[in-house]
Structure 1
Amino acid sequence: MISLSTVWLWLDMLQRELLLFAAVWVAIGACNEWAMDGLWAWLRLSGRVRTVRLPRGLAASADWQARAGDGLGGGTLRGVAAVFVPAWAEAEVVGAMVRHCLSAWPHADLRLYVGCYRNDPATLAAVLGCAHDPRLRIVVHDRAGPTTKADCLNRLYAALQADEARSGVRVRSVIVHDAADMVHPRALGLLDAALDHADFVALPVRPEMQRGSRWVAGHYGDEFAEEQAKAMVVRGWLGAGLPLAGAGCAIARPALSAMAARRPSEGPFAADSLTENYEFGLAMAELGISARFLRVRDESGHLIATRKYFPGELEAVLRQKTRWMHGIALQGWDRMGWRASLPDLWMRLRDRRGPMLAMVLAVVYALLVLTPLLALARRHGLVPDHPMSPALAALLWLDGVALAWRIALCGVFTAREYGLAEGLRAIARVPLRHAIAIVAARRAVTAYLATLHSGTVTWDHTRHRALPAHPACCPAALA
């Protein structure tokens, strides 16, 4: 029988090993983040990157409808823009999304392709309610849903090809959106103008805060505010592949054709990928397709971005984060590998660190329980006292500074986009973000192993219940 004193000694040994493990890996992660912070700060201070703001009164100016060559976007498109919206079980939001999109973008050269499934009559009925607009094209998939989001996008691409062949008019660009996206009125002209300078253009995604889920849904705002104001900007400047976010991304027609040529039997999007948008962006970089990430504010100072409500229920959040981590960190490792340029390699390391980061976080929180418990045990002579080495003490000091810096920076970026109150909440939401990451990582590894065994991938759909353009759909979700 194991004595109680032996258990305490084992716990003491475990705590010392975990402390060394956490100290080393937190320091490595801190150096990675400080490199990103330093490069971003240098780019900002040197003026190499900046957030452009549209001048006031631009919408009323006489030449606004005619000019787009300055890169700020205009009211007249350079060619036909096709918007792809895959929709499965989106009856609660897709009708509002389509109506708002067609209203916010009144351009005659807009074509809105919405992909529905024959076994999803509710979504199909919601889209048919908007069929009075001739710019809307409803495409019913010939397969029963759900397949995968990429498969639905490929079906829309096939419909686009058929329309081009029938009309003899080739579109200039394809813009990908989700069924729960709220588009910005200035976004279409901005994307169209930017395609003069790059073949792939992405706008930020801005999660909207929800009064009914300030903590769970609110953590998306914390993550996106920093990631898209800093990491995506650095990524674009380095020339690394920009992941397609699946919302507010414009692809030049020749670039889409080049992607489709990689898999002629399927289409441009990888139908067997859980995170086809992410993989699509990196694959374009491998083909040498130029990309650009745009941060522009409108005349009122609001970010020209795709706004949306992210899940507000914990289980839905965990499912979505599990799919992201599974697709990017685990499946992406298998599918995309590590052969890339130095900037792309650095970004792939950052993208795929999720499971490792979650493990380190789990160890840190375990230490927060073990360390005071063992300190109490030492006071009562249950375990011996061990002097800490100077090297470990220095590492722990560095880790503490890094943690304080990361938390403060999270609050700053969130406050900059959502206001001071949300910035303070962002600091308080840090433990929740960590807990979600830890649980999602465990589920992602389990799901990845199951996929290896079954060899099948299905659309792990995130159900949307409200659209920012029509908050009456969900009164509790008002910001």
Structure 2
Amino acid sequence: MENIPYFLVVMQVLMTFVCIVFFISGLDDLFIDLYFWIRHFYRKFFVMTKYQPLTEQQILDKPEQFIAIMLPAWDESAVIGLMLRNTIKSINYTNYHIFVGVYQNDPKTRAEVEKVMVESDHVHLCITGNDGPTNKADCLNWICNGIKAFEQKNRIEFACFIMQDCEDVIHPLCYKLFNYLFPKADMVQLPVLSLKRKWYEFTGAHYQDEFAQLHYKDLPVRESITKSIPAAGVGVAFSRKAISVVASNNNNQIFSTNSLTEDYDFGFKLREHKLKQMFVRLFVERTITQKSILTGKKRQVKVKELVCIKEFFPNKFWAAVRQKSRWVLGIGLQGWANLGWKGPLSIKYILYRDRKALITNLVNLLGYIVVIVVVAIWIIVSLDPNAYQYPPLVEEETILWYLIAINAFCLGLRIFHRAYCVKQLHGWFQAFLSFPRMVWGNVINFFATTRALSQYITYLRFIRQMRTW
């Protein structure tokens, strides 16, 4: 008991540190929120009244161009065949070719791809020159070599080059939309969302919430501020010009093999060369059959469907940690090393937002510890009025007291905006669950960040070569 006063002093220092970090991050997020709503209402009253939105018929009417789909694969024999067959069956497009990058030491994946090649002449195999796993950028570069050879042999030119993953579920109109937008743009990113999970699958479903907020609110704001967006690695297409310009300025290498997030780096390279980038959200109207929760009767209802890419993200805790540590490592650490802080103030601000997760992902868990301790002390004092009354950790009307009040307000905004974005794309029920999943997501992000930092320190001290897929 005699050590409790020292413990409380430590907790007060920790609380002050956490509150300062939350305050700085909260003001940053508040700016993005305000920008989102100002832009939203400006477009609603001053832009959308002057211009007709893009329609489904418009993208269907444009003649098809040849498009190339790049599909890197390592040890994907369990899913690659199903994904290819589903894509071939579901997409509303004819002039496409899928180039699957397979490692020379991955015979099982190669065998599955070759089975589909017998069924469809739209699928082609690109064998890498290196044993796997290297990183995705290396595999993509080998795919690009295969595409060049295919173009020369068949005397055609692809209008755009699309990145996909082996787990993707592609909306039937995605490639029609790409076809409509090229060659007007040099890079087009479509929304990427998580497929719906069961309500209790918090690990898999927290991706659903994060991607809803990112692709409904944050990316449109980012595009408006910087005229640039990071490629998501799936559902993104590049023009011939973009591929050519980047390769000519990167030793004839299209994707940088010194990064685990080659897609993130690519968007910044396009901005450096003043190439046009677009983030496109297109909703189309569909009639679906719904069953009433109360009566059980089926009825036809019209809904707005987003043209996007969907996929299942990891639903196991450590699998999610491994995947997100790769993102933290590539964007926060390798991105810092490769890109630095170049560019105008708007770009520096966005780089700060990308990299602040290195701190906030760790501090979030410290915040939980502080809250648990404060609540525990309050419970002890409440249950035993005769217990020794220690000085309060926070005095009223002090700077720390006001910081806590402001941070509580900002937290309320975070909860509201996360729920709002999830509601727009996944409905009310998922929006209600987004707050408890936010807490669980912060736990995952903490472990992902500590793992990424550990890997990067090891990389700097010993390995000096990142080869993780």
Task: Give runs of aligned pairs for residues 113-124 of structure 1, distance below 5 A.
Answer: 113-124=99-110
> In the alignment, what sits opposite 2:8?
12
- Identify which of 180, 198, 203 aligns with 2:167: 180
**Ranges in structure 1 where 5+ consecutive residues have no aligned partner:** 59-63, 461-479
Alignment counterpart, residue 41 of structure 1, candidates 33, 37, 40: 37
SS of the equivalent of 1:36 reads helix
Shift in Å, 1:400? 0.7
Aligned twin of 1:465: none
State how many pairs are aligned: 441
**Residues 91 and 172 in structure 2, CA contact (< 8 A), matched pair in contact too:** yes
Name the residue aligned to 2:294. none
TM-fit CA distance, 1:147: 1.1
Report the 3-state secondary structure (helix = DSSP H, G, I; strand = E; otherwise coil) of the residue aligned with 2:97.
Answer: strand
- Pick aligned residue for 2:335 from 310, 327, 332: 332
Equivalent residue, structure 1, for 2:453: 445
TM-score, normalised to structure 1's length? 0.87
Residue identity opposite 1:457 in structure 2: M
Question: How far 1:340 moved relative to its partner?
Answer: 1.4
Structure 2 residue 464 is the aligned partner of structure 1 residue 455: yes
Name the aligned partner's letter for residue 29 of structure 1: S
Secondary structure of 1:394 counterpart: helix
Task: Return closer, same or farther for 1:407/1:187 CA change in 2, 3 Å cut-off.
Answer: same
- 1:385 offset after TM fit, Å? 4.6
1:211-237: CA deviation from partner (whole Å, max 9, x where unpaired): 386211000010011111011111112
Q: Cα RMSD (Å) of the superposition?
A: 2.1
State the shift of 1:54 in Å: 6.3
1:208-227 equivalences in 2 (<5 Å): 208-211=195-198, 214-227=201-214
3-state SS, counterpart of residue 460 of structure 2: helix
Q: Which amino acid letter does the alignment assign opposite residue 280 of structure 1?
A: F
- The answer to whether the 8 Å contact 2:92/2:173 transfers is no
Deviations 1:3-26 (A, max 9, x none): x41x21221111111121122221
Corresponding residue number in structure 2 for 1:419? 427
Q: 1:303 aligns with which of 301, 306, 319?
A: 306
> Which blocks of at least 5 consecutive residues in structure 2 are unaligned?
287-303
Alignment of 1:48-59 (within 5 A): none
**Map 1:163-202 → 2, pairs under 5 A:** 163-202=150-189
Provide closer, same or farther for how the CA distance between residues 325 and 253 of structure 1 changes in structure 2, counting only shifts above 3 A. same
List structure 1 segments (4+ residues) > 6 angstroms apart after TM superposition. 48-54
In structure 2, C-alpha distance between the alignment counterparts of 1:373 and 1:297, rounded to whole Å: 49
CA distance in 2 between counterparts of 1:74 and 1:183 reads: 20
Deviations 1:113-169 (A, max 9, x none): 111112112211211121132221111112211111100000011111222233332
Report if aligned partners of 2:193, 2:308 keep a CA contact under 8 Å in 1.
yes
Within the candidate set 218, 222, 227, 1:235 is matched to 222
TM-score (norm 2): 0.89
Q: State the secondary structure of the residue aligned to 2:209.
A: helix
| Deviation sequence 1:39-98 (CA, Å, 0-9, x none) | 11111101177799765xx5xxxxx5xxx5xxx454632x31111000111112111211
Distance (Å, rounded) in 1 between the aligned partners of 2:131 and 2:372: 50
Q: Distance in 1 between matches of 2:282 and 2:23?
A: 34
Question: Is 1:74–1:190's contact at 8 Å kept on the other side of the alignment?
Answer: no
Matched-pair contact (CA < 8 Å) for 1:8–1:382: no
Partner of 1:101: 87
* CA pair 262-128 structure 1, distance change in 2 beyond 3 A: same
- 1:406 equivalent in alignment to 2:414: yes
Query: Displacement, 1:173?
Result: 0.8
